[in-house]
Chain A
Amino acid sequence: MIKIFFRLQLVQLRSAMEYRADFWIAAVGAILQQLVSIVFLVTFFGHVSSLGGWTLWQILVLQGLVMAADGLREMFTDGAWQLRADVNSGSFDRVLVRPVPPVVQQFTALASIHGVGNAGLGVVVLIIGLAHSGVQWAWWSVPLLVLTVLCGAILTTAISLLTNMIAFWEPSAQSAFPTLIALMRDFAKFPLDIYGAGIRFVVTVLLPYGLISYFPSRLVLGVGDAPGWWAVTPVIAAAGSSLVASLVWRKGLNRYQGVGN
């Protein structure tokens, strides 16, 4: 299965690399988008020394974790964003008749190599942040950070699949709804303490982006009192979201076939 996944990815990648200039423009564009929040932070901390007890460097750790996770998602499962167009054009039918699980085919329907740029930048920002944060390194620090990024990629993948599945029920490809939900991850690029209760609830429970940045970061960075079990928050986010996504995916496929497209 995994072999098929990567082989399909490779095919997409080859076709995308045919347009080399395009790749670079997309990569630069994606990185510039990420830089907006970094430019803001640097400016902000030019006037303020700490944000709710967090330093600039510690916040860069949050930013890095979210960016790296989303970059990985972009690299490997960006095909989910193709779902609405495929359902609308009817080319999703092809996915159903092939002897490969539909979800694997959908994930590999699009190769967004500019994800490399985002993931790379995320890792760089993460390392810079960690290097200046005076971290008390323990044996579990690095494994926890790696786990957090991986779980983050799973979470963002599950959410992007869930929101794009709107196509099965509401076939108007124009909707900006998936983009809106995906962009809510930006909340998790800052310490959750600054927000009101409503936003904290959304980013912790409904769209648990906070579980793949804020909670594990507090543990690694030692900001405030962080109970040890927070180390499993990324796993909770990844497992919970995948479960919901797979259930809805099954429902969506049934509906798609039931309607008889």
Chain B
Amino acid sequence: MTAVEETTWRGRTEPGPKYLSLARTTLQQAIAYRITTLFNVGLTFIWVIILYYLWRSAYAGRTSIGGLTWDQMRTYVVIAYGINALVGWRTGSAMMATIRTGDVVFEMVRPLNYCTTQLARSVGYTVVEGAVSLAFTLAIGLIFLHIEAPASVAAALLFVLALIIGFLTKVLVVFLVSLLTFWTLNGMGLMWSQQAIMQILSGTIVPLALMPAWLQVIAGVLPLRGIVSTPLQLYLGQSTGWDAVGLLGLQLFWLVALWVLANLAWRRAFRIVEIQGG
């Protein structure tokens, strides 16, 4: 009799890997909202088009601006926006929503690490939303805008590596910003600020190398460059050898630092909720 019970209840007593199943759930949600996903892709394209035309007229009669050729600049613009769409608006707004409605309490009682939970969810969204965005961007980029391939095989591999670290960095930054919702009610304003600062300092709107010197110094040391600028520098083969190692090292350093910070901040926020929710 016990043997029968064991076999019928196998599904419940042996759940799949926890974080993997979280990722799978959000993946299904993202599929359910595919039209939204499509429009989100359109949103990123407005600025790709604007920047394309702006740079096109800037390169008329010139071969290089800030060390980048027209071919490289075009590639940069398209891929930068593709990467930026990897972690979309949804990840952050979903986190903020749980905090505002109080559903966050349920997250607290779960025997899971909250940071990892959010990371797993973001991966779920990204597999659909981000991958679709990136695929669209690359397809349109290749067909209409004739973007360049990675500089070399090594460059392609380093690009993928940097892209993954950059993705994790962005999730953690979004996570930290979302936590501020514990202190303020206005998620919109926070998201707007975060988006704007990220667009500038990650090098999405314009490559770091072209920025005014003072801005270049600031953007150069901050973690946000690891999200867009670093992967693209490797893609275009602009930094190789020790330079590339240095960039990846900086990325990794910030990733670890942000992870520690995110966990500390979460614990702080946790305490506040306990005090308020007595």
Seen from chain A, the residues whose Cβ lies within 8 Å of a Cβ on chain B are 19, 21-22, 25-30, 32-33, 35-37, 39-40, 42-44, 46-48, 51-52, 114, 172, 174-177, 179-180, 183-184, 186-187, 190, 194-196, 199
B49 to chain A: closest residue by CB: A199
A25 close to B54 (CB less than 8 A): no
Report A-chain residues with C-beta under 8 Å of the C-beta of B49.
187, 195, 199
Name B213's closest neighbour in chain A (CB-CB): A46
The reply to whether A36 and B54 form a contact with Cβ atoms under 8 Å apart is no
Give 1 or 0 for each of B178-204: 1 = CB within 8 Å of chain A CB. 000000111011111101110110000
**Counting chain B CB atoms within 10 Å of each CB, which of A32, A51, A175 scores highest?**
A32
Known: A51-B57, A190-B54, A199-B49. A40 touches B192 (CB 8 A): no
B142 within 8 A of A: no
Task: Give the docked Cα–Cα distance between A30 and B189 (Å).
Answer: 7
Evaluate contact between A35 and B47: CB separation under 8 angstroms.
Answer: no
In the bound assembly, the distance between CA atoms of A195 and B205 in angstroms comes to 18
State which residues 32-81 of B face A: CB under 8 Å: 33, 35-36, 39-40, 42-43, 46-47, 49-51, 53-54, 56-58, 65-66
22 A–B contacts from the bound complex (CB under 8 Å):
A19-B186, A21-B186, A25-B184, A25-B190, A26-B192, A30-B192, A32-B192, A33-B192, A35-B196, A36-B199, A36-B205, A39-B215, A40-B51, A44-B206, A47-B66, A51-B57, A175-B35, A176-B39, A179-B39, A180-B43, A184-B46, A190-B54
> For the complex, what is the distance from the CA of A124 to the CA of B88, rounded to whole Å?
32
Contacts of B269 in A (CB 8 A): none
Chain A residues whose CB sits within 8 angstroms of the CB of B56 once the complex forms? 194
Residue pair B212, A22 in contact (C-beta under 8 Å): no
Nearest B residue to A39 via CB reads B200
Are B40 and A48 in contact, with the CB atoms below 8 A? no
**A177 shortest CB reach to chain B, Å:** 5
Give CA–CA (A75, B94) in the complex, Å.
Answer: 27
A28 and B189 contact, CB distance less than 8 A: yes
Whether the pair A186, B47 counts as a contact (CB closer than 8 A) is yes
Which B14-40 residues have a C-beta within 8 angstroms of A?
33, 35-36, 39-40
Between A27, A29, A172, the greatest number of chain B beta carbons within 10 A of the residue's beta carbon is seen for: A29
CA distance A21 to B189 in the complex (A): 11
A174 to B34, CA, bound (A): 10
Closest 5 pairs (CB-CB, A-B): A29-B192, A29-B189, A25-B189, A176-B39, A26-B189
Whether the Cβ atoms of B57 and A194 lie closer than 8 Å is: yes
B210 & A43 in contact (Cβ 8 Å cutoff): yes
Given A19-B186, A43-B211, 8 other A-B contacts at CB below 8 A?
A: A29-B190, A29-B191, A32-B192, A33-B195, A48-B58, A52-B57, A176-B36, A190-B54
A88 vs B26: C-alpha distance when bound (angstroms): 23
Query: Assuming the A-B contacts A21-B184, A22-B189, A175-B36, are A32 and B43 also in contact, with contact meaning beta carbons closer than 8 angstroms in the complex?
Result: no
Q: A33-B195, A47-B66, A195-B53 are in contact. Are A176 and B189 (CB under 8 A)?
A: no
Contact with A along B80-109 (1 / 0, CB 8 A): 000000000000000000000000000000
Q: Which of B42, B54, B190, B196 contacts A51 (CB 8 A)?
A: B54
By the criterion CB–CB under 8 Å, are B206 and A40 in contact?
A: yes
Number of chain B residues whose Cβ lies closer than 8 Å to a Cβ of chain A = 39
Name the CB-closest residue of B to A199.
Answer: B49
B185 cross-chain contacts in A, Cβ below 8 A: 19, 22
Closest residue of chain B to A37, judged by CB?
Answer: B205
Contacts of A30 in B (CB 8 A): 189, 192
Residues of B within 8 Å of A46, CB to CB, are 210, 212
Residue of A44, A172, A177, A190 with highest tally of chain B CB at under 10 A? A44
Residues of A within 8 A of B192 (CB): 26, 29-30, 32-33
- When C-beta atoms are compared, the residue in chain A nearest to B57 turns out to be A194
B196 A176 Cβ-Cβ under 8 A: no
Assess A183 versus B46: contact at CB under 8 Å? Given A33-B195, A36-B200, A43-B211. Answer: yes
Return chain A residues, CB-CB under 8 Å to B191: 29
Indicate the member of B43, B50, B188, B189 with the most A CB atoms within 10 Å.
B189
Query: Contact: A48 with B205, CB < 8 Å?
Result: no
Q: A32 touching B193 by the CB < 8 A rule?
A: yes
- In the complex, the answer to whether B54 meets A174 with C-beta atoms within 8 Å is no
Are A25 and B193 neighbours in the complex by a CB distance under 8 Å? yes
Instruction: Please give, as numbers and ranges, the residues of chain B lying within 8 Å of A32 by CB-CB distance.
Output: 192-193, 196-197
Q: Return B83 CB to nearest CB of chain A, in Å.
A: 16
Question: Which residue of B has the minimal Cβ distance to A174?
Answer: B36
Residues of A within 8 Å of B206, CB to CB, are: 39-40, 43-44
CA distance A177 to B136 in the complex (A): 18
* CB–CB B212/A194 < 8 A: no
* Chain B residue contacts of A42, Cβ below 8 A: 212
Nearest-neighbour CB distance to chain A for B262, whole angstroms, equals: 21
CB-CB < 8 A to A186: which residues of B?
A: 46-47, 50
